[in-house]
Amino acid sequence: MACVNNFFLENENIVSTDKFDISEFEKGTALYEVVKIVNSKALFLGEHIERLKKSAKIKNKKLWLSDNEIIERINKIIHINNVDFGRLKFVFRFLENQNKFFSFFIELITPETELYKTGAKLITVEALRDTPNAKIINHGLRNIVKTKLAEQNAFEALLVCKNGKITEGSKSNFFLIKNKKIFTAFTQSVLPGITRDYVFRICRKNNIEIIEQDIYIEKLKEFDSAFITGTSIGVLPVKQIENIEFSLSNGILKTLQDEYLKCVEEYLGR
């Protein structure tokens, strides 16, 4: 997790990136969110703050900054780095008598435009988040996934329980399509992504049936199409999971992509 650009924020202090110390997040408990910056604006920031507060409640922690204070600090680091487009992480690190707030830019993960047409390659990794509904820094899982993605030249890894149940991606939510219906894991089993929530809203608006259910790896061949969602990627089609291929020509998937882009444009136009 490298810090990029010239400066990061530690509490209220602007600090040079060369003084960034990743070991700060290996102490205590670190709750975080990652937001996409577009036109120097943090996309869906209010929703991200609300999810962070839910994570804190799950872990029995109390955020010491108000919503407005968080927003002010995020805007401060965006403007001091003069960033128009990027990926920003903000972290509440809880440690006895040493609580700290950090805000910093990380490497941008944006699929090539062509990937939205050709689809992403996914792999599976046997892993399970201890507290799936809370966004907590997990260095062990991140390192395992990073190694396997590099070894297999894949874009994302799906987390699979020992019984073969697929929950979510390492940094995304996972969906399948069959007979014009969308299927995804139960909300209580995953980190409820902001983009995932927009997919649910779009489905309600367009009368598309979306079903929450357990999804097992041995059943993947029964589905027509697949896609993943996330802050940085939006709605991204999947062409392959391990050796199973999926159709990219799907009207439901195209509707979701188009409608999500409209939501982004509407938010940025406020």
Q: What is the pLDDT of residue 220?
A: 97
Residue spans in the chain of domains classed CATH 3.20.10.10: 115-268
Residue 1: per-residue pLDDT: 62
Q: What's the pLDDT at 227?
A: 98
pLDDT tens track for 78-108: 999 999 999 999 999 999 889 999 999 999 8
CATH topology for 3-106 is: D-amino Acid Aminotransferase; Chain A, domain 1 (3.30.470)
User: Does pLDDT of 228 surpass 80?
Assistant: yes
Give the confidence band of 62 by pLDDT, cuts at 50, 70, 90.
very high
SS (H, E, C) the chain: CCEEEEEEEECCEEEEHHHCCHHHHHCCEEEEEEEEEECCEECCHHHHHHHHHHHHHHCCCCCCCCHHHHHHHHHHHHHHCCCCEEEEEEEEEECCCCCEEEEEEECCCCCCCCHHHHCEEEEEEECCCCCCCCCECCHHHHHHHHHHHHHHCCCEEEEECCCCEEEEECCCEEEEEECCEEEECCHHHCCCCHHHHHHHHHHHHCCCCEEECCEEHHHHHHCCEEEEEECCCEEEEEEEECCEECCCCCHHHHHHHHHHHHHHHHHHCC
**Average pLDDT over every residue of 239-250:** 96
- Does residue 136 surpass a pLDDT of 80? no
Give the percent of the chain with pLDDT over 70. Answer: 97
pLDDT band with cut points at 50, 70 and 90 for residue 38:
very high
pLDDT at 119: 96
Q: Where in the chain is the domain with CATH 3.30.470.10?
A: 3-106
- CATH code for residues 115-268: 3.20.10.10
